[in-house]
C-alpha cells in the first residue's frame, strides 16, 4: 500500500470513525497514536523523522496559601492532540510527573524520531515542569533563550522538542483564538484562581473547570493548524517567532536578486557597527512638560485630535534613501557641512555640544535623548529629554541632526569620528516585497481573519528583521540553580564576524537605524502642522489641539509624492485609496491628562450626547486598569494607585527548590512561580523652572582653538 493510500485511510478513520474526547489520561487509549504518520524534513541532509501531529500542553497551578507570595504547585494539566486536520483528544491530569510521563509515552508510541510540543507562554509552565523533565529526560541538549527565564525552544536527547507559541502569536491565547476565529475559544472565567486545590482533586474537576483547561490547549492546536496551513508549512518548519514569518520569503527573493553580494559590499566593520548601535534609537515618546498632570478640556482648548501615520516604518522603507555604500572616514566636518550634504550622504558621528539649550521654552518636544548621550555635564532633563546641558556627547546621524539643529543652540560644537555613505533607495526586490505585504494587509482587512492576521504580522515584522542586533551573547541556563547568565565563550566582535559570514545575512543593520530616524523626522514635520498645543507624541502618532488641516493635507501630498518618486502609489480597495505614511485621524477626545511618556489618559468625544469612555495608556498597567479611575480623569494623577486585582497586573516571584518533594497533602512539589496582584503607583515628570536653568556654572575640559564650529 502506498504512503498516500495509508494517509487517506487514516485520515478517513479519524474523521469518520474516531470520536474526539476530553478524558483523564489514565482512561485514554494511547495506542490510537500508532496511526499518526511521520514526515521527513526536506533538504537538511539528515534522516530524522517528525511526527505529523500538533500537540500543545498547559498547566494550571495553585497557591500554597491564598493572598500571600508563596511557592505554588501544579494541580492540573492538559495535552491536546490534533492530526489529519481534526482534533483527536485532550487528555488531562493533575501531577507534573504524569504530564512528563504522558509526553514521553506519546512520543514513544508514535513512529517519528522527533515530536514537537507547543506551550503558550512556555516560560511559565517550564519552571513548574523542569525538574520532572530533567529526572526523566536529562537536561536539554539544545536550548534557545530570548532572555533570562524565557526559553523559546528546547530539545531533549530523547527527541522531544518544546516550542513557545506565544512568541509566534505575539498575543494572548484568548486574542489569538479570537483573531483566527478557531472553533474553540478560551473559556474565560471558568477557573477560579482564588481557590486552594490539591493534586488529589484531579478526578473531581467540575464541568466548567474541565472546559477551561481543555480549551486552553484545544484552541492552541487549532490556532497552530490555521497558522501552519496559511503559511504552507509543516510542523517542523513553522517559524519560532512572528519575524520569522516573512524572513524566509525575504531570503528566498533576496537570493534570486543576489542580495548577499550587496550585503558583502556595504556591511560595516565591527567598530562602525558599534557606532551604529549607539546612533540607533527607538520611537519618540514624550508628553508636553507644560501640561503634565493638567486636565486639558476640549471646551477650553478645542477638540483634542490624534493623528496617526499609516504604516510609518514601511513608508520610510519605500519612500526614503538609505546608506548604500560602505561607510568611510570623512574629515573636517561641521554641522553645516553634514546638513548641506545630508540629502545625498548618510553620516554617523559623535556630536559634542557645549553650553547647549533649547532655543525656546515653547518647544514642547525636546529631541535630545538623555539615555543615548555617552557623556553629560550638568544636564537638565524633561522626562528623559535634555532641556539644557553644560556639555554633552551623543552619537547621531544627519537626519536626527536636522531636528537637533532646529531646536537647540550651543556656544560651541564639534563633530568627531565622522563616517559617511552615499544614499540611495533600498533594493527594488525588497521594497516591492514591502509594498506587496502592505497591499495584502489592505485587501484582506475585513475578510479572512487568518490571512489578515498573517498579512498584518508580515508587514509589522519587516522592520524588525532589519533592526535586530546582528550579534547577541547567548543566554545560558544553570540547570542546578535555575539562574541564567550570559555566555562568555565568544566576544561580541567574534559573533559579529560570524554574522557577516552567514549566507543568510542579507539585510544590513544600518537600514533599520535610518528607518527610526526618518520616522522621528516625520513626526516632527507633522508637529509643524499644529497651531494649537502639541500635547503628546508616541512613535507614529501625535495628540494635539488646533490642527492646521491644510498643512496636514500638504504633508500627506508630500508623502504621496515621495512614494511616487520611487514608483509606488496607493492600494485601491473597493474604490478607496490606501496610502503608506500619510497622517490620518485616529481619534477625537474631549479630555486628556498626561503624567509623562507612556502615561496618559483620554476621554473620547461625546457621541449622540452621551459622554465618551476613558482610555488609558500606562506602561506596565493593562488597559482594563482604566476601571480604577472610576470614570473620573482627575483621578489620573501622581501617586494614584492602580490596584492589581482590578488591572490584572501580576508580580512574578520565582521559587527554586533543591529537589522534588511531596507535601503533607500528597502534592508533588518543585520549582514554581508565584503570580500575585501587584499595585502600580503612578508618578509624573518633575518640571523645572526655565529661568533657573542658566544660573549654575561648571568648569569644562579645555579644547584647542578650531576643534569647534559655530552652531
Domain assignments of the chain as residue spans, ordered by start: 3-241
Average pLDDT over residues 562-579: 96
Is 703 a residue whose pLDDT tops 80? no
Residue 331 CB-density burial (10 A; 0-12 exposed, 13-18 middle, 19+ buried): exposed
Direct distance between the N- and C-terminal alpha carbons of the chain, in angstroms, rounded to an integer: 82
The grid coordinates of residue 137 equal 529526560
Pick the closest to residue 683 from 635, 646, 640, 650 (CA basis).
640
Are 513 and 324 within 8 A, CB to CB?
no
- 569 CB-near residues (< 8 Å, 6+ apart): 560, 563, 579
- The crossing angle, in degrees rounded to 10, of helices 122-137 and 96-109 is 70
Helices (H), 182-323: 207-231, 244-256, 259-266, 270-279, 298-301, 312-319
Question: Which range is least confidently modeled, 350-359, 491-500, 536-545?
Answer: 491-500
For residue 710, what pLDDT is reported?
Answer: 34
Q: At what angle do helices 509-527 and 449-467 cross, to 10 degrees?
A: 110
Residue from 161, 178, 241, 242 nearest 215 by CA: 178
Buried b (16+ CB within 10 A) or exposed e, 667-687: bbbbbbbbbeebebebebbee
* Residue 697 pLDDT grade (very low, low, confident, very high; cuts 50, 70, 90): very low
Calpha distance 361→366 (Å, rounded): 10
**What 3-state class would DSSP assign to 676?**
strand
Q: CB neighbours of 390 closer than 8 A, spacing ≥ 6? A: 354, 355, 377, 378, 379, 697, 698, 700
pLDDT band at 683 (very low <50, low <70, confident <90, very high): confident
Segment (H or E) for 168: helix 166-169
Q: What are phi and psi of 358, to 5 degrees?
A: -60, 145
Mean pLDDT score, 124-130: 96
* pLDDT score of 706: 36
CA atoms within 13 A on the CB side of 224: 37
Q: What is the mean pLDDT of residues 40-48?
A: 75
Mean pLDDT, all residues of the chain: 91
What would the mean pLDDT of 389-393 be, rounded to a whole number?
98
Rounded to whole angstroms, how far apart are CA atoms 407 and 402? 9
**Which residue has 506596565 as its cell numbers?**
620
Confidence band (pLDDT; 50, 70, 90) for 317?
very high
Higher pLDDT, 117 or 680: 117
DSSP class of 621: B
Grid coordinates belonging to 351: 556630536
Rounded Cα–Cα distance for residues 579 and 559 (Å): 9
Per-residue cell: 514: 535610518
Q: Are 185 and 143 in contact (CB under 8 A)?
A: no
pLDDT at residue 272, as a whole number: 97
In order of 324, 508, 531, 705, the CA distances from 463 in angstroms are: 17, 12, 32, 43
Which residue intervals of 48-109 are DSSP H helices? 96-109
pLDDT band at 165 (very low <50, low <70, confident <90, very high): very high
pLDDT band of residue 44 (cuts 50, 70, 90) is low
Residue 654 has pLDDT above 90, yes or no: yes
Q: Given the DSSP bridges, would you call strands 160-164 and 115-119 parallel, antiparallel or unpaired?
A: parallel
Average pLDDT over residues 357-366: 96
Residue 143 sits at the vertex; the CA angle it makes with 140 and 149, to the nearest 5 degrees, is 105
Asked whether the predicted pLDDT for residue 45 surpasses 70, the reply is: no
User: pLDDT (tens digit, 9 = 90+) per residue, 445-465?
Assistant: 888 887 888 888 888 889 888
Any bridge partners for residue 114, and if so which?
50
| Domain range 3-241, CATH class | alpha beta
Tell me the C-alpha distance between 335 and 333, whole Å. 7
pLDDT-derived band at 575 (thresholds 50, 70, 90) equals very high
DSSP, res 71: -
Name the least confident of 75-79, 483-487, 699-703.
699-703
Share of the chain above pLDDT 70, in %: 95
CA neighbor of 385 nearest in space, from 685, 155, 26? 685
Task: Decide which of 47 and 226 is more confident.
Answer: 226
Contact 206, 92 (CB under 8 A): no
User: What are the start-end ranges of the E strands in 359-510?
Assistant: 373-377, 380-382, 385-397, 408-424, 475-477, 484-486
β-pairing, 641-642 with 541-544?
A: unpaired
Classify residue 290 by burial, with Cβ atoms within 10 Å: 0-12, 13-18, 19+.
Answer: middle
Evaluate the CA torsion angle 689, 695, 699, 704 in order and state its sign. positive
State yes or no: pLDDT of 700 exceeds 80. no
Statement: residue 301 has pLDDT above 50: yes
Averaged over 358-380, what is the pLDDT?
96
- DSSP helix/strand/coil, 267: coil
Helices (H) and strands (E) in the chain, counts: 19, 35
CA angle 187, 190, 193 (to 5 degrees): 120
* Residue among 77, 169, 154 at smallest CA distance from 117: 154
All 3 cell numbers of residue 536?
503628546
Q: Regarding predicted confidence, which is higher, 281 or 680?
A: 281
Average pLDDT over residues 144-165: 92
| pLDDT, tens digit (0-9, with 9 covering 90-100), for 203-244 | 899 999 999 999 999 999 999 999 999 888 999 999 888 777
Residue 528 contacts by C-beta under 8 Å, 6 or more apart in sequence? 551
Q: Is 469 exposed, middle or buried (0-12, 13-18, 19+ CB in 10 A)?
A: middle
Amino acid at each position: 500500500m502506498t504512503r498516500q493510500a495509508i494517509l487517506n485511510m487514516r485520515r478517513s478513520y479519524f474523521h469518520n470513525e474516531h470520536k474526539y474526547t476530553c478524558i483523564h489520561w489514565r482512561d485514554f487509549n494511547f495506542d490510537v497514536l500508532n496511526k499518526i504518520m511521520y514526515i521527513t524534513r526536506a533538504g537538511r541532509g539528515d534522516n530524522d523523522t517528525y511526527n505529523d501531529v500538533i500537540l500543545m500542553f498547559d498547566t494550571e497551578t495553585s497557591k500554597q496559601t491564598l493572598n500571600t507570595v508563596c511557592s505554588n504547585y501544579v494541580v492540573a494539566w492538559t495535552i491536546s492532540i490534533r492530526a489529519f486536520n481534526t482534533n483527536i483528544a485532550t487528555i488531562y491530569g493533575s501531577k507534573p510527573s504524569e504530564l512528563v510521563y504522558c509526553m514521553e509515552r506519546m512520543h514513544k508510541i508514535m513512529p517519528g524520531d522527533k515530536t514537537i510540543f507547543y506551550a503558550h507562554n512556555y516560560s511559565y509552565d517550564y519552571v513548574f515542569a523542569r525538574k520532572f523533565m530533567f529526572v526523566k529526560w536529562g537536561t536539554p541538549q539544545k536550548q534557545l533563550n530570548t532572555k533570562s527565564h524565557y526559553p523559546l525552544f528546547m530539545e531533549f536527547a530523547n527527541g522531544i522538542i518544546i516550542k513557545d507559541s506565544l512568541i509566534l502569536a505575539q498575543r494572548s491565547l484568548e486574542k489569538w483564538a479570537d483573531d483566527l476565529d478557531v472553533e474553540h475559544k478560551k473559556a474565560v472565567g471558568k477557573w477560579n484562581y482564588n481557590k486552594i486545590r490539591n493534586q488529589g482533586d484531579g478526578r473531581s474537576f467540575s464541568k466548567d473547570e474541565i472546559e477551561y483547561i481543555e480549551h486552553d490547549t484545544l484552541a492552541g492546536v487549532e490556532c497552530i493548524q490555521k497558522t501552519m496551513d496559511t503559511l504552507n508549512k509543516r510542523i517542523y518548519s513553522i517559524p519560532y517567532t512572528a519575524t520569522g514569518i516573512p524572513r524566509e520569503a525575504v531570503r528566498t527573493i533576496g537570493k534570486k536578486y543576489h542580495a548577499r553580494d550587496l550585503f558583502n559590499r556595504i556591511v560595516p566593520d565591527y567598530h562602525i557597527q558599534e557606532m551604529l548601535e549607539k546612533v540607533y534609537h527607538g520611537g519618540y515618546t514624550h508628553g508636553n512638560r507644560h501640561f503634565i498632570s493638567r486636565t486639558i478640556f476640549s471646551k477650553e482648548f478645542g477638540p483634542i485630535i490624534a493623528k496617526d501615520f499609516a504604516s510609518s516604518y514601511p513608508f520610510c522603507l519605500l519612500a526614503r534613501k538609505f546608506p548604500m555604500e560602505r561607510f568611510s572616514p570623512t574629515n573636517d566636518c561641521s554641522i553645516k557641512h553634514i546638513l548641506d550634504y545630508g540629502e545625498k550622504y548618510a553620516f554617523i558621528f559623535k556630536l559634542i555640544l557645549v553650553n547647549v539649550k533649547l532655543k525656546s521654552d515653547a518647544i514642547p518636544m525636546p529631541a535630545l535623548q538623555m539615555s543615548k548621550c555617552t557623556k553629560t555635564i550638568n544636564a537638565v532633563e524633561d522626562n528623559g529629554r535634555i532641556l539644557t546641558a553644560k556639555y554633552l556627547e551623543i552619537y547621531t546621524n544627519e537626519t536626527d541632526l536636522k531636528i537637533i539643529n532646529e531646536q537647540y543652540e550651543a556656544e560651541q560644537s564639534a563633530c568627531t569620528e565622522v563616517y559617511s555613505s552615499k544614499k540611495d533607495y533600498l533594493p527594488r526586490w525588497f521594497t516591492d516585497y514591502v509594498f506587496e505585504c502592505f497591499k495584502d494587509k489592505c485587501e484582506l482587512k475585513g475578510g479572512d481573519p487568518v490571512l489578515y492576521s498573517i498579512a498584518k504580522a508580515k508587514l509589522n515584522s519587516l522592520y524588525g528583521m532589519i533592526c535586530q542586533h546582528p550579534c547577541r551573547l547567548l543566554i545560558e541556563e544553570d540547570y542546578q540553580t535555575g539562574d541564567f547568565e550570559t555566555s562568555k565563550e565568544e566576544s561580541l566582535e567574534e559573533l559579529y564576524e560570524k554574522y557577516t559570514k552567514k549566507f543568510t545575512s542579507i539585510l544590513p543593520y544600518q537600514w533599520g537605524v535610518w528607518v527610526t530616524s526618518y520616522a522621528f523626522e516625520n513626526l516632527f514635520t507633522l508637529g509643524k502642522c499644529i497651531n494649537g498645543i502639541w500635547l503628546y507624541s508616541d512613535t507614529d502618532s501625535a495628540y494635539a489641539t488646533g490642527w492646521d488641516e491644510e498643512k496636514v493635507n500638504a504633508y500627506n501630498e508630500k508623502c504621496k509624492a515621495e512614494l511616487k518618486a520611487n514608483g509606488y502609489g496607493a492600494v485601491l480597495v473597493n474604490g478607496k485609496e490606501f496610502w503608506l505614511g500619510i497622517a490620518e485621524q485616529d481619534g477625537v477626545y474631549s479630555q486628556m491628562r498626561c503624567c509623562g511618556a507612556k502615561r496618559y489618559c483620554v476621554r473620547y468625544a461625546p457621541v449622540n450626547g452621551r459622554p465618551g469612555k476613558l482610555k488609558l495608556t500606562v506602561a506596565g498597567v493593562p488597559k482594563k486598569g482604566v476601571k480604577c479611575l472610576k470614570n473620573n480623569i482627575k483621578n489620573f494623577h501622581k501617586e494614584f494607585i492602580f490596584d492589581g486585582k482590578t488591572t490584572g497586573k501580576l508580580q512574578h516571584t520565582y521559587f527554586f527548590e533543591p529537589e522534588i518533594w511531596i507535601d503533607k497533602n500528597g502534592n508533588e512539589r518543585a520549582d514554581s512561580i508565584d503570580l500575585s496582584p501587584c499595585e502600580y503607583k503612578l508618578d509624573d515628570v518633575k518640571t523645572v523652572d526655565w529661568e533657573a536653568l542658566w544660573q549654575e556654572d561648571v568648569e569644562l575640559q579645555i579644547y584647542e582653538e578650531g576643534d569647534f564650529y559655530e552652531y
